[in-house]
Structure 1
């Protein structure tokens, strides 16, 4: 399997794990409603007794939920690590990365462009310099490197343009859209630029799924949905 397919698999796994929160929440809700119905039909229990039994059940379910949340957390973080790993491998793959001499030449030319832009006093001439450089940059890896500098370049040109900045933004947008980058390079770069997703929420804090969990299991456990190991650490203190 190629690094790109591995990257797509890792990203897909992360998406599926988040998506699975809906089914997990539904499962716990269904179990709770079934248990609640049984307790309500038990004539041997008083109203207070039912409340006690419900609370006991929520605690039991909370422990089960925490086990499931820990499993999801582990799988999600592993997928996030894999995504970062394969993205780095794609970007550093010799098949995509030019040789050192080509990279050195590009870096030198890019530095010259940046210097000329800093010294430019006219937005049209600055835009022309950037367009020429973009047209001459055809390697996917080098295009990716060039794109990293665009926020600064765009800022310099729009500053020179003054009140005409909106017009120049449109021209720059057209130029940026014309920079063709291989899909695997673009996706890998987006993963790296976005930073590691390891430890990021699997359960949306205010999402309907976690809200459901809070209703059907003990809050003592539900609050640790995204960091289940913290519950263990807290109980050991």
Structure 2
């Protein structure tokens, strides 16, 4: 008996069974560490350049300032005492301190009895129209002759007369007064006669041991504005 064989043939599609070709892929790798190092080096280099140039400029400015300081003329300390009779200087601003002259006048018998101290009262000028303002123990030819250089200790029975002198320019019809205050209380009020373009006016008061206290003499107007003033202390021995 003949063998019965069945042969089965399978045709494969080679195009379907073939493995697809693999395409090459690009992989990007970031070297972060190197980038950071490069940035840090760039910043450090920029800072180095900045400080190098700025340091040079500062050194140049410092040398210029030192040269200017060396070239500045030194003030002559003797010029301040060249005019010992000047009592008050003209105020350049609306609030200027004017101190009495530093050189003591020739002592007299009255001043010796009054016990003149060493501390100087300070005259203050508040208005530019006031040229001079000073407290004095004597006037000569309508000019201050002996400026006060300290607080007075008045001997009993020996009263002392003080004069407050002011020179005013361009008063412009102002009604001005000299006021004497003891312990902040007005004890004397004198109206001044201002006729000239440049007027020299003064007022005086006799002080004794009964007038011990803190004194203030000022130049003011009707509205209470103060143009100049001087303060001093009076004590008794």
TM-score range for the pair, normalised by the shorter chain length: under 0.3
Return the TM-score normalized by structure 2: 0.27
* More contact order relative to length (CA 8 Å, sep ≥ 6): 1
Higher relative strand content: 2
TM-score (norm 1): 0.27
Higher CA-based Rg: 2
Q: Which has the higher helix share?
A: 1
